[in-house]
Amino acid sequence: MRRNVQYYDKEAVGSRIQQMRKRNHMTQNQLAERLDYANERQLQRIENGKTACSVDKLMEISQVLDVSTDFLLFGWQGTEEGDILEIFNGISEDKKMYLLKVLKAIADNLKIVA
């Protein structure tokens, strides 16, 4: 099975960092300070897609902005296990089995489950 390879898109990552920084009501200067940058210039270059940041710095950014690295890198919004389990609350065992079969068929069809 051949997988689509995704590459580090500096502009997309920078845009998502900027989006999450603004969502958290932070200025570039405030985030730069939290990341121990000497000034906001390095953060500006990251947000503008001019430069990439290290994996360590990306992890730090994700923690400060309370967002997953998957979202910053690929735009994927993760689903919490509790959210998935909540779907199954209050339904019969037959319906649960049916939903599991449907989800497995979808996953198999999309080749996301080996």
Q: Does the pLDDT of residue 112 top 60, yes or no? A: no
Phi (first) and psi of residue 62, to 5 degrees? -65, -35
| Alpha carbons 6 and 65: distance in angstroms, whole number | 23
- Is residue 81 within 8 A of residue 34, CB to CB? The reply is no
Superfamily per CATH, domain 10-74? lambda repressor-like DNA-binding domains (1.10.260.40)
pTM of the model as a whole: 0.65
Query: Per-residue pLDDT tens for 80-110?
Result: 555 666 777 788 888 888 888 888 888 777 7
| Alpha carbons 17 and 62: distance in angstroms, whole number | 8
The arithmetic mean of pLDDT across residues 24-34, rounded, is 96
pLDDT value of residue 19:
95
84 or 26: which leads in pLDDT = 26
Residue 71 identity: F
Q: How confident is the model at residue 7 (pLDDT cuts 50, 70, 90)?
A: confident
| Alpha carbons 50 and 37: distance in angstroms, whole number | 16
Q: Where are the domains of the chain?
A: 10-74, 81-110
pLDDT value of residue 82:
58
